[in-house]
């Protein structure tokens, strides 16, 4: 397990970061990513020059093939894996189940979050459906490992090394289904009430009207506030609910002047804040598969708002993910936290603030409660599954709507359901001491039912990097229009447009 906040993959996850950048120097994967960096540099010229085939093949898919090849080479050079679960990442042979058996295999990452949820589901299915059932979870270092495995298998048209089930990041799955349709088995026909899920969460796993996966978690965005610090400027959480971003900025300026703390923070090495604010408006950063930046009035207003919040010290623009987590949140620099609800364990690490927090929805540009989601994943059956009926039955019974699965997933790993009925359980209605004994998990599930569906892209994270860079440059004196034009140009180039 990398020594980072466990709701994010490693800093070196090459699908979200530039190769060779932001290496933490403490991860075992650093030598591997240095090798991949060299591979990327070798082929970058070809990617930039290609005018024919590269118009038909996504750059992301091409890079993934190179990364997968590098992973295989790295394993060979080291004499193979160590036999541990982590050694199975990157495409090592695991294999699927046998027809008629009672065992399934799965790739997943994060032993403190996703894997406890899978174990809770396996125990539920074994207890209540099949006493002989067994789920072998092969731990991966991050989502990139699984994407590599699919890419390598799909490119070779050989799926024999894949497990039965893979965990996959929401923002990338549609591109992978499009690029490698034979790698996945649809879950159509599974006994699942699809209407019982949050519509936005479910939208990621539907491709051309076909259900390919089952959602696992709920990444609904919360805005948590320190009630004691709001009180110092005469405000309550109710006052912060449904307000305009401009009003929040005014209050944030007052909070900083009174307490020396920013109202909230965001990481400047990603565009999470931009995306969350845009989704709460029901508007995307992409339109018809292409970047929609310079002509996007809503995006312009969002960026202007963030610039204003940064200049007036309502929002702390942390210079890295570590600065965001370790300094601004756990270092007690802020009076509020805005992110997907997976941020809660990070907040709870500051035990002296227990009981001082409450949550609500996020503001909008023109006023009214805003809803968004940030992050998340689902489970997908691969072409190598030898017992598709068992895999469908397992996913349907557990993550398809089992209260027992989701109660224990919440207790053991902090995974919140996106199945609306599961929020009616006693566990979800329990008050949480850290949040002033409010039943926040039931509240989060209800909030998730209102998140609007917007256009997605597998360049979601790259767009965020370019946009937050434009915002930082504007705070430092550049013109926003020029910075957004540059961001759009760079993103279009990266997408091969």
By C-alpha distance, which of 338, 327, 350 is closest to 374?
338
Q: Give dist(CA 445, CA 429) in Å, integer.
A: 11
By C-alpha distance, which of 192, 223, 186, 229 is closest to 207?
186
- 494 has a pLDDT exceeding 90: yes
Q: Are 393 and 129 in contact (CB under 8 A)?
A: yes
Cα–Cα distances in angstroms (integers) from residue 260 to residues 42, 87, 318, 333, 359, in the given order: 49, 47, 16, 8, 21
Which pLDDT belongs to residue 440?
97
Bridge partners, residue 267, by sequence: 318
Other residues' Cβ atoms within 10 Å of the Cβ of residue 98: 10
Q: Average of pLDDT values for 44-64?
A: 41
Cα–Cα distances in angstroms (integers) from residue 102 to residues 179, 185, 380, 387, 393, in the given order: 31, 19, 18, 9, 11
- 286 has a pLDDT exceeding 70: yes
Q: Both tokens of residue 206?
A: 């539907």
Which pLDDT belongs to residue 94?
63
Q: What tens digit of pLDDT does each residue of 348-403 get? A: 999 999 999 999 999 999 999 999 999 899 999 999 999 999 999 999 999 999 99
Residues 6+ apart with CB under 8 A from 129: 393, 397
Q: Give dist(CA 292, CA 120) in Å, integer.
A: 41
DSSP strand pairing (221-226 vs 357-360): antiparallel
Q: Both tokens of residue 268?
A: 């400047």
Q: Provide the b/e sequence for 364-380 (b: ≥16 CB within 10 Å).
A: bbeeeebbbbbbbbbbb
Q: Are 323 and 267 in contact (CB under 8 A)?
A: yes
Which pLDDT belongs to residue 270?
82
Other residues' Cβ atoms within 10 Å of the Cβ of residue 106: 26
Q: Both tokens of residue 53?
A: 């085939």
Handedness of CA 464, 110, 64, 376 (dihedral sign): negative
Q: Give dist(CA 92, CA 127) in Å, integer.
A: 31
Q: Give dist(CA 308, CA 402) in Å, integer.
A: 45
Please state, rounded to an integer, the average pLDDT across all residues of the chain. Answer: 84
Rounded percentage of the chain residues whose pLDDT exceeds 90: 74
Handedness of CA 57, 58, 59, 62 (dihedral sign): negative
452 exposure class (CB count in 10 Å sphere: 0-12, 13-18, 19+): middle
Task: Kindly report the length of the chain.
Answer: 497
By C-alpha distance, which of 147, 182, 179, 185 is closest to 165?
185
Which pLDDT belongs to residue 100?
81
Rounded to 5°, the CA angle 217-324-10 comes to 55
Q: What tens digit of pLDDT does each residue of 414-451 get? A: 999 999 999 999 999 999 999 999 999 999 999 999 99
Beta strands in 177-289 (DSSP E): 184-185, 206-207, 210-211, 213-215, 221-226, 264-267, 286-287
By C-alpha distance, which of 74, 192, 198, 188 is closest to 141?
74
Bridge partners, residue 134, by sequence: 103
Q: What tens digit of pLDDT does each residue of 188-234 get? A: 999 999 999 999 999 999 999 999 999 999 999 999 999 999 999 99
**pTM metric for this prediction:** 0.80
How many Cα atoms within 13 Å fall on the side-chain side of residue 256? 18
Q: Both tokens of residue 16?
A: 């979200």
Q: What tens digit of pLDDT does each residue of 100-148 get? A: 899 999 999 998 889 999 999 999 999 999 999 999 999 998 899 999 9
Helices 59-77 + 170-179 axis angle, to 10: 90
Q: Are 398 and 405 in contact (CB under 8 A)?
A: yes
- 14 has a pLDDT exceeding 50: no
- 179 has a pLDDT exceeding 60: yes
């Amino acid at each position: 397990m990398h020594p980072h906040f466990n709701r994010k993959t490693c800093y070196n996850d090459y699908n979200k970061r530039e190769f060779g950048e932001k290496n933490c120097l403490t991860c075992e994967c650093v030598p591997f990513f240095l090798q991949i960096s060299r591979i990327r540099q070798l082929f970058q010229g070809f990617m930039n020059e290609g005018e024919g085939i590269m118009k038909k093949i996504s750059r992301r898919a091409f890079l993934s093939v190179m990364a997968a090849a590098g992973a295989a080479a790295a394993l060979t050079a080291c004499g193979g894996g160590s036999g541990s679960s982590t050694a199975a990442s990157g495409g090592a042979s695991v294999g699927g189940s046998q027809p008629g058996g009672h065992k399934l295999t799965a790739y997943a990452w994060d032993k403190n979050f996703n894997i406890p949820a899978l174990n809770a589901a396996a125990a539920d299915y074994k207890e209540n459906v099949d006493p002989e059932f067994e789920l072998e979870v092969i731990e991966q270092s991050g989502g990139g490992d699984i994407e590599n495995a699919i890419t390598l298998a799909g490119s070779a048209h050989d799926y024999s090394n894949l497990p039965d089930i893979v965990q996959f990041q929401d923002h990338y799955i549609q591109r992978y289904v499009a690029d490698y349709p034979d790698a996945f088995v649809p879950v159509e026909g599974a006994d699942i009430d699809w209407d019982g899920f949050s519509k936005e969460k479910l939208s990621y796993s539907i491709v051309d009207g076909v259900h390919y996966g089952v959602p696992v978690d709920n990444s609904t965005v919360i805005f948590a506030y320190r009630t004691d610090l709001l009180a110092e400027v005469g405000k309550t959480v109710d006052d912060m609910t449904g307000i305009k971003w401009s009003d929040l900025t005014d209050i944030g300026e007052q909070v900083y002047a009174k307490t020396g703390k920013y109202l909230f923070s965001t990481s400047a090495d990603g565009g999470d804040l931009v995306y969350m604010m845009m989704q709460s408006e029901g508007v995307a950063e992409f339109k018809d598969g292409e970047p929609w930046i310079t002509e996007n009035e809503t995006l312009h207003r969002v960026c202007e708002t963030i610039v204003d919040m940064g200049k007036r010290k309502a929002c702390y623009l942390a210079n890295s993910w570590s600065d965001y987590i370790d300094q601004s949140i756990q270092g007690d620099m802020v009076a509020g936290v805005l992110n997907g609800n997976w941020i809660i364990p990070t907040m709870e690490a500051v035990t002296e603030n227990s009981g001082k927090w409450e949550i609500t929805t996020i503001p909008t540009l023109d006023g009214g409660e805003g809803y968004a989601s940030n992050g998340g994943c689902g489970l997908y059956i691969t072409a190598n599954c030898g017992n598709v009926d068992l895999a469908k039955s397992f996913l349907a019974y557990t993550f398809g709507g089992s209260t027992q699965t989701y109660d224990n997933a919440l207790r053991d790993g902090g995974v919140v359901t996106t199945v609306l009925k599961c929020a009616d359980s006693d566990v979800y209605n329990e008050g949480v001491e850290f949040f002033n004994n409010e039943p926040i998990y039931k509240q989060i599930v209800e909030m998730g039912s209102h998140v609007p569906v917007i256009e997605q892209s597998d360049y979601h994270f790259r767009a965020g990097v370019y946009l937050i860079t434009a915002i930082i440059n504007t705070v430092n004196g550049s013109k926003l229009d020029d910075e957004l034009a540059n961001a759009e140009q760079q993103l279009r180039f990266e997408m091969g447009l």
